[in-house]
Amino acid sequence: MKVVLAYSGGLDTSVIIPWLKENYADCEIIAVCVDLGQVNKSDYSEIERKAKVMGADRIHIMDVQDEFIREYVYPMLKATAVYEDKYLLGTAIARPLIAKKLVDVALAEKADAICHGATGKGNDQIRFELTIKAFAPQIRIIAPWRIWDIQSRDDLMKFLENRGLEVPMKKSQSYSRDENVWHLSHEGLELEDPSAEPNYRHLLQLSVSPEDAPDKPEYVALEFDKGVPVKLNGKSVTPVELVNSLNEIGGRNGVGITDIVENRVVGMKSRGVYETPGGSILYAAHRELEHLCHDRSTIEFKEVVSSKYAQLIYKGEWFTPLREALSAFVDSTQRTVTGEVKLKLYKGNIIPAGSTSPYSLYNEEIAGFTTGELYDHKDAEGFINLTALPLTVRALMEQKRQDIAFPVDIESSENAMRSHGTCVHDHKTCNKGEIGQ
């Protein structure tokens, strides 16, 4: 049996290799490490060594960082896709690409199965397997977390220790982490208690906590062409260079740290801390430019599209007709999203500092306080009257209904007011002896 394994060199996939050997007779394991920025090239030999020590027969290491940003992250950025208003989808957007590369290797190697280390409680199992089924439904999928008796990360460590194999992490740092050029996620340990404040000084790796950021703000300028960032501080950069540079800039200023309790696809809630310093800066800049260049109707409808787009990414539905159709709409909106945005970074905050665009819809003659030829204040009255017409008609109807339901009898009303000591002449409350005086 020939199995292609999604291999990261972390705890889960380190255990999976010997587990496959023990549970599948004559199992040939081809480990595939898809590098999206989580591996330093100098560590490639170490990744290969660890895979072979664990029992892998062969290993493929693929650097796909540029493809990841150009073909996956940038379309997501243009869509302004954010899951549940907080999560910039750093793990979710990576999974379709990883799974597609696994399929490519499996087809080339004529493999019988693809194996992944996603848990039975998580989202990644869905994201991996939907992509696999989209391209190679005939290939068997092995998901050890849905098969074996291992229940925890402690069990994983004991599995390796009992076999004399090296454990790739310390117990005190056994967070479940996922890293790529776009972000770094943290789950597990004390984060499983939503009432606990994260110990950022212990946890963070890309960023400093906002209180530890410099006391002086730092400015960045980003230039976009049709929704795609092309320059940083006036200098042309590749996608990988751009994101790495923004991660450094944003990280040292404590921006892009998100603590979220999110709704997983499988139904449960989970808590995680995400570091996305560069991505947060790009989203903020892109959003500023869109608000400058898009009309109101486009902005309103794109918010609907953005929410759906984020849901599709989160649920692993990247390679679907709907996602492709939404991307076509998004691309049409980006034709005018060209220009420069300046931002001020200060202790975890991203503050707009000015935007320019040849497609700007801001017109100073109309928007300024000085009246110009393009806008007549008197026009507002007719606009308001027409806009309010449904409200006016409804109000008249309600008044008419109240008159019918509560007819006014003036004589009865005056008698009632006298009996309660109320003056009917000047509407002042009087003593009964003073009524009519």
Looking at the annotation, which residues are catalytic? 12, 95, 124, 176
Distance CA 97, CA 124 (A): 12
Question: In which residue are the tokens 């017109």 written?
Answer: 363
Length, in residues, of the chain: 437
Query: Are the CB atoms for 98 and 323 separated by under 8 Å?
Result: no
How are strands ordered across the β-sheet holding 269-275?
176-179, 184-187, 269-275, 257-263
The distance between the two most distant Cα atoms of the chain, rounded to a whole number of Å, is 112
Three-state helix/strand/coil letters over the chain:
CEEEEECCCCHHHHHHHHHHHHHCCCCEEEEEEEECCCCCHHHHHHHHHHHHHHCCCEEEEEECHHHHHHHHHHHHHHHCCCECCCECCCCCCCHHHHHHHHHHHHHHHCCCEEECCCCCCCCHHHHHHHHHHHHCCCCEEECHHHCCCCCCHHHHHHHHHHCCCCCCCCHHHCCEEEECCCCEEEECHHHHCCCCCCCHHHHCCCCCCHHHCCCCCEEEEEEEECCEEEEECCEECCHHHHHHHHHHHHHHCCCCEEEEEEECCCCCEEEEEEECHHHHHHHHHHHHHHHHHCCHHHHHHHHHHHHHHHHHHHCCCCCCHHHHHHHHHHHHHHHHCCEEEEEEEECCEEEEEEEECCCCCCCHHHHCCCCCCCCCCCHHHHHHHHHCHHHHHHHHHHHHHHHHHCCCCHHHHHHHHHHCCECCCCCCECCHHHCCC
Q: At what angle do helices 277-293 and 239-252 cross, to 10 degrees?
A: 110
Query: With the CA atoms of 272, 351, 253 and 244 taken in that order, what torsion angle do they form, in degrees rounded to the nearest 10?
Result: 80
User: Which residue shows structure tokens 């906002």?
Assistant: 210
Q: Cα(351)–Cα(90) distance, rounded to whole angstroms?
A: 22
